[in-house]
Amino acid sequence: MTLLLFCLLFPLFGALILLFVPSWNYKLIRSVALYISLGTFLLSLLLWIQFDNSTGKFQFMQSFALVEHAAKQPEYSSLTFIIGIDGISLFFIILTTFLIPVCILVGWKSIIVYVKEYCIAFLVLESLMICFFSVLDLLLFYVFFESVLIPMFIIIGIWGSRERKIRAAYQFFLYTLFGSVLMLLAILLIYFQSGTTDLQILYTTLFSETREILLWLFFFASFAVKVPMVPVHIWLPEAHVEAPTAGSVILAGIMLKLGTYGFLRLSLPFFPYACIYFTPLIYTMSVIAIIYTSLTTLRQVDLKKIIAYSSVAHMNFITIGLFTLNTQGVEGSVMLMLSHGIVSPALFLLVGVLYDRHKTRLLRYYAGCGRTMPLFAIMFLFFTMANLSLPGTSSFIGEFLVLTGLFQTNTFVAVLATTGTILGAAYALWLCNRVIYGIGKVYYINCFSDLTRREFFMFLPFVILVLWMGLQPEPFLNSLHSSIGNVVNHPFWK
């Protein structure tokens, strides 16, 4: 049993234990869930320690045949549960395991109904997402891509805040499902053509150019919804606004990464021709998304929606970076994914802090938090700065690398994308201004409390990570180099 498998089964094991704890004993439940998820986090850190940076191969490989007698039945030879990680998936797994304890901590006081189910849902979700990032079989990739929908649907629907949550859960579910069934068809078509769904074999498979284009489009339909690209991004603000804080953390931190991770893992290496063919499409859609959503952010009144739209802008920056198809661009976008996976959840947590105290997320009720909640104000300012990629924070590294890569391939798009940074600064500073500065509107809100100790320690790792990644990105980039080199040095692109 490799470490990876252990890491994957540990949360499931925890969920199983929780099933047998009576649900009135919520204190025990949430502490068990917290310890289990922290344990998983430590295990995933061990993964990083044991990770061999010098190779782009998959490590910690393990496989189980789901259908036996493969030799007798060539058509099922591929239906195996293969897991293994390379530099790219390593960090996503760590990000997942890092965010889940936070999710459980954030619901420490605010979740009072269905505590047991809450913890179980998050632990199962964690296990599914680790599976998603480590699985090396195309069909199972789809399975885990989709199966995170069920816990997320329930999380939004049950612990969400308002009546509109049902609509949001529906939208989230159906948009994603609609996108991804086309991917299922594409996967079956690949299976039918090549006779296998093993990713490592498929990396060496060549498709005809027309088929590549078709398959790329089918995959794109699914990933574009998840990313989200502009015409199909509507589900995201809805889902974010209605989700509980922990749900938003997971949505922004990991769910959005599923799409870009899919691009990186499948679209780029599988369809090198189609990737070049569709680069203008991606550039156009992403640039439109960056500018459009940045401008849309300016006119939102809901705090969560503002951050959600800024997430859309960042994610589209990432897709541009992926399709630069050179090392700087792709590495930059992976860094940006990681940094967005830290910064954006932190912002959602901050909004959650406000919401927990005052039960509103509307911007007009808030002002002057700097006077009454100084710690909160510091955190808010810090993460807003990180969000607009101030040099020294993690986002800057990512954005800088993406723009470096982009200037090599397409200067015009690079210029347009750079305007996104300016617009990003515009809405982020505007938001900061309105929440922190000014005179408190005491006729709306008349009791204040600053961050509690639990909340402060919840934010501390985020701050450390942002600064670490911003000032010393070497450890991250070192583990990424060889894996991304594998993707980018495709023979077709040389």
Q: How far is the CB of 91 from other proteins (least distance, A)?
A: 25
Q: Is 192 in the site for other proteins (CB under 8 A)?
A: yes
- In this chain, which of 73, 411, 449, 489 binds other proteins, going by CB under 8 A? 73
Interacting stretch for other proteins, rule CB under 8 A, among 136-144, 228-236, 254-262, 327-335?
136-144
Query: What residues between 77 and 116 interact with other proteins by CB under 8 A?
Result: 79
Residue 124 or 484: the one with the smaller Cβ distance to other proteins is: 124
Query: DSSP for 366-425?
Result: ---HHHH-HHHHHHHHHHHHHHTT-BTBHHHHHHHHHHHHHHHH-HHHHHHHHHHHHHHH
- In this chain, which of 166, 234, 276, 442 binds other proteins, going by CB under 8 A? 166
Q: Return the HEC string of 44-94.
A: HHHHHHHCCCCCCCCEEEEEEECCCCCCCCHHHCCCEEEEEECHHHHHHHH
CA separation for the pair 375, 286 (Å, rounded):
36
Q: Is 207 in the site for other proteins (CB under 8 A)?
A: no
Residue 66 or 295: the one with the smaller Cβ distance to other proteins is: 66
Residue 131 or 256: the one with the smaller Cβ distance to other proteins is: 131
Q: Is 213 in the site for other proteins (CB under 8 A)?
A: no
Gyration radius of the chain's alpha carbons: 22
DSSP 125: H
Q: Is 13 in the site for other proteins (CB under 8 A)?
A: no
The residue type of 389 is S
CA separation for the pair 1, 62 (Å, rounded):
8
Site size for other proteins (CB under 8 A)? 37
- In this chain, which of 3, 184, 281, 378 binds other proteins, going by CB under 8 A? 184
Q: Tokens 């299976």 appear where?
A: 191
CA separation for the pair 323, 267 (Å, rounded):
10
- Give the contact letters, 139-158, x = binds to other proteins (CB under 8 A), - = no: x--xxx-xx-xx--xx--xx
189 vs 193, 210, 218, CA distance in Å?
6, 13, 11
Of 226, 429, 395, which is closest to residue 317 (Cα–Cα)?
Answer: 395
Residue 153 or 400: the one with the smaller Cβ distance to other proteins is: 153
What percent of the chain is helix, strand and coil (3-state, nearest 5)?
75, 5, 20
Interacting stretch for other proteins, rule CB under 8 A, among 8-16, 138-146, 406-414, 434-442?
138-146
Q: Is 177 in the site for other proteins (CB under 8 A)?
A: yes
- In this chain, which of 5, 38, 189, 281 binds other proteins, going by CB under 8 A? 189
Q: Is 174 in the site for other proteins (CB under 8 A)?
A: yes
Residue 28 or 189: the one with the smaller Cβ distance to other proteins is: 189
- Sort 491 into a burial class: Cβ within 10 Å, 0-12 / 13-18 / 19+: exposed
Q: Is 178 in the site for other proteins (CB under 8 A)?
A: yes
Q: Which residues bind other proteins (CB under 8 A)?
A: 65-69, 73, 75-76, 79, 139, 142-144, 146-147, 149-150, 153-154, 157-158, 165-166, 169-170, 173-174, 177-178, 181-182, 184-185, 188-189, 191-192
